[in-house]
Amino acid sequence: MKLISMNPATGDVVHTWPVHSEPEVSYILGQAEDAYQSWKATDLAFRLDCLEQLAGMLRDRAREYGVIMAEEMGKPLVQGIAEAEKCAWLCDYYGENAVSFLEPNEIDTGANNSFVAIEPIGLVLGVMPWNFPFWQVFRFAVPTMTAGNGAILKHASNVQGCANAIESVFLDAGFPENLFRNLSIPGSRVNGVIEHPAIAAVTLTGSTTAGRAVAAKAGECLKKTVLELGGSDPYVILDDADLDQAVAACTAGRMLNAGQSCIAAKRLIVTRKNESEFITSLQRSLELKVMGDPMDEVDLGPMVSINARDELHNQVKRSIDAGATLLIGGEVPDGDGSFYPPTLLTDVKSGMPAFDEELFGPVFVVIIAEHEQEAIEFANQTEFGLGSAVFTANIERGKELAKSYLQAGACFVNDFVKSDPRLPFGGIKASGYGRELSAHGMMEFVNIKTVVVKPAGDS
């Protein structure tokens, strides 16, 4: 058995990768455990030196990595370069803040000395998806390893070139050999890795179905999990919204990565007052977008696979059959590759796939609400709770809706949702639990240890 990387723009096989056998996996995990035992005892300053080297190499190799992403999963080259550079920014952030995040915290309890110490816990298994094949890995691995842990990657089968490039750059940056390792195995073998005694915890970014399966196995083994799962992010456009701003944000928030993002702008909920103007402006914006070879200067590359494209198209057709109106797109292009054009659906209502399901691709779904209250009700009418956005000229009202009414792990006012190393990232409901990034992300996979010291002989 081999893992296959296939160019989604052409359908050509880029590379095949041998699968690690069970004995090879056990050997790799044993090596990684040994590397971790040494790494956890290293001075933080040394870890930060490695992190600085890693940031520089990511910037130097950004175009190289962008090409690999374009070839393996269809991301436009300029977006892939930006993704590699964002990983370097992540390294910068933890390099600047890890000392304060990890230092002991003195607590006044009346005892002679009480404090909270932060310790690593071991090897953290990251089960990662193909859509942001560098960013998803680095945002779990960098804080995890900086805190003194080791990282084991089980990457998506179709992006093993990315996975191996990541393993190499950690080694080139001076991190110890075997501290970060990629396992070339299919998803069916993840449970066996979770069960391995060397694995201390698991983080997964992927579907809700995969999250439930990993959480069940990890729970059986009493190993902590962080899950970042699907989303059906609502963008609420209120009566007083700046429509040019809203259209630009919704377009950018949906077109990035061909709409294949958990935090894409998936349901655009517009109040009746702005229905006609918003839809007309959005349609004009989409008609200007260029779809094509991801190695060219395009807005939209192919979707990751023919199967993914066909599944999306089926959701579009079922929504139209249920009463949605197709304004542009919605047709599978002739020719090679798994391309799907920007598609705009209106008259979308509850009960249609475009409202109820996660559409993972460049489909813009417009839902009309009669007023603000109904718009918020529609926004929260989903099993997911990853990201959300609200557009309004009343900043105080926007802040209140974001803080207290929209049910999600993140809510942006007058902008599209994006991850940022400085801010915690994660969801609620069927979108998962736990947080990545910021100080909160670094604290997910550590032992937060209470230490109380009483003087000898003090009764």
Dihedral over alpha carbons 96, 102, 103, 106 (to 10 degrees)? 130
**CA pair distance 144, 439, nearest whole angstrom:** 11
Q: Give the strand pairing for 2-6 and 387-391.
A: unpaired
Q: How would you write 382-444 as a 3-class SS string?
A: CCCCCEEEEECCCHHHHHHHHHHCCCCCEEEECCCCCCCCCCCECCCHHHEECCECHHHHHCC
**Paired strand residues for 387:** 410
**CA pair distance 144, 124, nearest whole angstrom:** 8
Positive or negative, the CA dihedral 92, 94, 95, 96 is positive
Element (H, E) at 314: helix 306-321
> Measured at the alpha carbon of residue 16, what is the angle toward residues 12 and 21, in degrees to the nearest 5?
155
Tokens at 47, concatenated: 């870890």
Q: Please name the amino acid found at residue 347.
A: D
Three-state DSSP class for residue 127: strand
| Catalytic sites, residue numbers | 228, 262
Positive or negative, the CA dihedral 169, 173, 175, 177 is positive
Q: How far is CA 426 from the centre of its chain?
A: 9
Contact residues for 81 (Cβ-Cβ < 8 A; gap 6+): 62, 63, 65, 66
Contact 223, 202 (CB under 8 A): yes
Q: At what angle do helices 77-102 and 135-146 cross, to 10 degrees?
A: 20
